Homo-oligomer: A and B are copies of this chain.
């Protein structure tokens, strides 16, 4: 291996260490930071972002990348070639942003998240407007620094950060027909007149029992709790803080235990991906290199949605999980059967909160957000008009009235965190998950039987071998073709939802 490549890897590792410090400080902001620490926290995050950006855009790194690109013998190694390809991409993107903008974005979004927390609590969108406007302003600047791709729009420059290679036009082309088909599905479910018994979902289960059950589930699906944690936050998330340190969060509502359960399964899906990435902490490890990082948010989300839905909402999952639930939750679960649970967690009912939405309606929530952030970014819409536009679309797409902004446009942390261009990856994740699953059922024919016996390791192993272990070696679209033999399509998701609707509603 060339000395220059080794130097490059060591410099890149330093960026990774700085990034991991930022991730920990952000995690703390959401979990244990006392309220009065918030103002100063923004300054800490701003400085880390500045140091990270300064280091990652050091011309020394650019020179070393160029030297490696010129080294034909080095590039003959496909693994190294992939690493250098991605390092080039990252470096070129990052050097387009001035450090001052990066630092200001970190400070502003740290503040905006605090403003959002309060605004959400009080359902007071007006109080959030100034900070959100500033976030969009800075994000527009960021997009313009990246540059708008030929034939594309400003949104693409941001989307490319989360889903390399994707564009708003393509997303729209996938979403528009999907919306029509989902609307038809939602309509026929409603027309069936069937109402599965969902009373079990209102059982009162104290948070501590839910937490113990959640920890048991994590162990069962092989999430390594010696190398991770589960805490409580307003908005659940997963942070792959560092090698050996992957942190999940969830939230407990005594009166709806499935919220925390599916939230935990979702974040654990992300967490298994993080734990499966080849980022061993040893100084010789790949940590900091693209080969140890996730491909894209769409692929990341395919992992979380697979564990949450394809696994966690299957009948087989409840065959295994129900006896455990009865043990942890006692009398509340006495008369429940796997079939009751399966039907209860697979109803299709338009609702207000994305993270609690069922699989049939979930993607409608995503489409609303995609359309709004795209318009906000282009300037076609103003921040102050968000509540009205939000509520109008919820009426259009889901037929429901939004009673207040807390349960409307203030429900998600993303925009306050500067994560604009991120939402469509949720639906991409659902599409990838369903398509991967059809291949999994071919390659592990008894996967469902295994799940009903609580044997999750073979599925986890398949995901690790086929997806996690490769880091960023392949682009999302290539990985999809490599694994499933076909380009990404909405058909598997629609087939999957159709089968469920048939099982639950007979339609």
Q: Mark A256-292, 1 if CB is under 8 A from B, else 0.
A: 0000000000000000000000000111000100000
CB-based nearest B residue for A51: B51
Considering the complex, which residues of chain A in the window 211-231 have a beta carbon less than 8 Å from any beta carbon of chain B? 224-229, 231
Considering the complex, which residues of chain A in the window 25-69 have a beta carbon less than 8 Å from any beta carbon of chain B? 25, 28, 31-41, 43-44, 47-48, 51
Choose one: B18, B28, B37, B51; the contact of A227 (CB below 8 Å).
B37
Tell me if A440 is interfacial: C-beta within 8 Å of chain B.
Answer: no
Q: Which residues of B contact A247 (CB under 8 A)?
A: 34
Choose one: B34, B245, B282; the contact of A245 (CB below 8 Å).
B34
Choose one: B31, B47, B225, B242; the contact of A21 (CB below 8 Å).
B47
Considering the complex, which residues of chain A in the window 8-26 have a beta carbon less than 8 Å from any beta carbon of chain B? 14, 17-18, 20-21, 24-25
Choose one: B39, B43, B242; the contact of A37 (CB below 8 Å).
B242
Q: Which residues of B contact A25 (CB under 8 A)?
A: 21, 24-25
Are the CB atoms of A20 and B36 closer together than 8 Å? no
Are the CB atoms of B227 and A34 closer together than 8 Å? yes
Tell me if A236 is interfacial: C-beta within 8 Å of chain B.
Answer: no
CB proximity of A230 to chain B, nearest CB, Å: 10
Tell me if A471 is interfacial: C-beta within 8 Å of chain B.
Answer: no
Distance, CA A287 to CA B24, complexed state (A): 22
Are the CB atoms of B34 and A226 closer together than 8 Å? yes
CB-based nearest B residue for A31: B32
Distance, CA A489 to CA B244, complexed state (A): 51
Tell me if A377 is interfacial: C-beta within 8 Å of chain B.
Answer: no
CB proximity of A100 to chain B, nearest CB, Å: 15
Considering the complex, which residues of chain A in the window 464-505 have a beta carbon less than 8 Å from any beta carbon of chain B? none
Distance, CA A34 to CA B17, complexed state (A): 17
Q: Which residues of B contact A41 (CB under 8 A)?
A: 242, 245
Q: Which residues of B contact A245 (CB under 8 A)?
A: 33-34, 36-37, 40-41
Are the CB atoms of A20 and B44 closer together than 8 Å? yes
Distance, CA A37 to CA B275, complexed state (A): 12
Considering the complex, which residues of chain A in the window 282-317 have a beta carbon less than 8 Å from any beta carbon of chain B? 282-283, 287
CB proximity of A349 to chain B, nearest CB, Å: 38
Distance, CA A43 to CA B245, complexed state (A): 13
Choose one: B17, B34, B35, B43; the contact of A44 (CB below 8 Å).
B17
Are the CB atoms of B229 and A36 closer together than 8 Å? no
Q: Which residues of B contact A282 (CB under 8 A)?
A: 39
Distance, CA A10 to CA B43, complexed state (A): 13
CB proximity of A437 to chain B, nearest CB, Å: 30
CB proximity of A219 to chain B, nearest CB, Å: 14
Are the CB atoms of B21 and A21 closer together than 8 Å? yes
Distance, CA A244 to CA B33, complexed state (A): 9
Q: Which residues of B contact A20 (CB under 8 A)?
A: 40, 44
Distance, CA A224 to CA B36, complexed state (A): 9
Tell me if A241 is interfacial: C-beta within 8 Å of chain B.
Answer: yes
Q: Which residues of B contact A48 (CB under 8 A)?
A: 21
Q: Which residues of B contact A36 (CB under 8 A)?
A: 224, 226-227, 244-245
CB-based nearest B residue for A33: B245
* Most chain B beta carbons < 10 A, residue from A37, A41, A226, A244: A37
Choose one: B28, B40, B243; the contact of A244 (CB below 8 Å).
B40
Are the CB atoms of A244 and B37 closer together than 8 Å? yes
Please, could you name 21 A-B residue pairs with CB atoms under 8 Å apart, sorted by A?
A: A17-B43, A17-B47, A20-B44, A21-B25, A21-B47, A21-B48, A24-B28, A24-B44, A25-B25, A34-B244, A34-B245, A35-B227, A36-B245, A37-B227, A37-B243, A37-B245, A39-B244, A39-B282, A40-B244, A40-B287, A43-B283
Closest 3 CB pairs of A and B: A37-B245, A36-B244, A36-B227
